[in-house]
Amino acid sequence: MQHITILAPPTCLATSISLPLEILNAANEQVRTRNRKQPRLQIEIVSQQLGPVVTAGGLSIVATATPDMIEQTDLVIIPSLWRNPVNNLKKHRWIIPWLQRQAKQQSLICAVGTSSYFLAEAGLLDNQPATTHWYYCDQFAQRYPQVELKRQYLITQADRIYCVGSVNSIADLMVHFIQQRYGQAIARQVEGQFSPEIRRPFADHAYAEEASSPHQDETIIEAQEWLQRNYRDNIHLSELAATLDLSPRTFNRRFKQAVGTTASDYLQNQRLDNARELLRTSNLSIQEVASASGYQDSSYFCGRFKKAMGQTPLAYRKSVRGKLFKVI
């Protein structure tokens, strides 16, 4: 995911361009601080003409390329557009054949809000799950009966095509992409920089087709599900491997090959995710949060948490609760 193309038709919502752009750049810079050989992201803003594009809020964004200048790209982001999406389809027909070409070339495509209409119009969502801005769900369902509209989901995935129902949820999807590309540690650092109080894990509110599961190793899927249920306990991974009739070495090799991370790191991520949720939503002490997340030593927990999040559990709790209103 090195080359990124963001479409910028007039009357698009600037935040659905600037927010993913800033999040992806932040991740890339985090990686570059660790490895200067990591190349910078190549980002193109595409519109029908080069030069400034006036967005719905009156801000101008400079288009650096036209559609015919982009032959292949890794990720396409289509921003949400203001007002009736059917009218926008008529104004920006050029987007549809261009999206069809990119889909054939296996680009990741992400549509924000009402821009899912372009994907549906291009036939890319036929018999696939999708979502759109809540206000236009009825119109979308009537216009595209062949699409499996998932009204209750803010994010849907169908192989390499994603739909996002709101601008805020594009942040969640970008963090998901960052985790896939750069790993959990970078994803969490970037997440901490961008509104950690509203972040929700991708899996919590995304609809993904079963066929798009990242791996098909049923034994490792069983191990993942067991870890998700039992992460609070004192776990010995060698014992888990034995219950699966695998040697520790084979288990570790297959787990990393299937999941992309070690079983030990996967377990830590489960525990830290639970700790973050408790810090956000409960008044438990740090020691109680640690214990409820599978850590018997609160000092060790604090060290792991700070390494992953870049701040202590107490500092994290203060940051995510910083937007509570005082009731008079």
List Cα–Cα distances, 126 to 98, 112, 129, 146, 247, in angstroms.
Answer: 17, 18, 8, 5, 45
pLDDT, residue 101, reads 94
Q: Which residues of the chain have pLDDT under 50?
A: 198, 210-213, 323-328
**pLDDT given at position 196:** 59
Buried b or exposed e, range 139-164, using 16+ CB within 10 angstroms:
ebeeebeebbbbeebbbbbbebbbbb
**Where does 214-320 sit in CATH, by number?**
1.10.10.60
What is this structure's pTM? 0.70
* Residue position matching structure tokens 């996967």: 266
CATH 1.10.10.60 segments of the chain? 214-320
Which residue type occupies 2?
Answer: Q
Write out the E strands in the chain. 3-7, 42-46, 51-54, 60-63, 75-78, 108-112, 129-130, 148-149, 155-158, 161-164, 206-208
Q: How far is CA 48 from CA 10, 72, 115, 120, 221, in A?
A: 10, 17, 16, 21, 46
Inter-residue contact 70 to 27 (CB < 8 Å):
no
d(CA 130, CA 185): 30
Q: And the tokens for 70?
A: 């982009």
Residue 123: enclosing H or E segment and its boundaries?
A: none
Please compute Rg for the chain using Cα positions: 22
Name the segment(s) of the chain with CATH classification 3.40.50.880.
3-210
Q: Where are the alpha helices (DSSP H) in 261-327?
A: 263-281, 286-292, 298-309, 313-320
Q: Tally the C-alpha atoms within 13 A of residue 172's C-alpha that lie toward its C-beta.
A: 23
d(CA 261, CA 283): 32
Q: Which tokens in the block code for residue 244?
A: 């699966």
CATH superfamily label, 3-210: Class I glutamine amidotransferase (GATase) domain (3.40.50.880)
State residue 218 phi and psi, 5-degree precision.
Answer: -65, -35
Looking at residue 185, what is its pLDDT?
78
CB 131 within 8 A of CB 116: yes
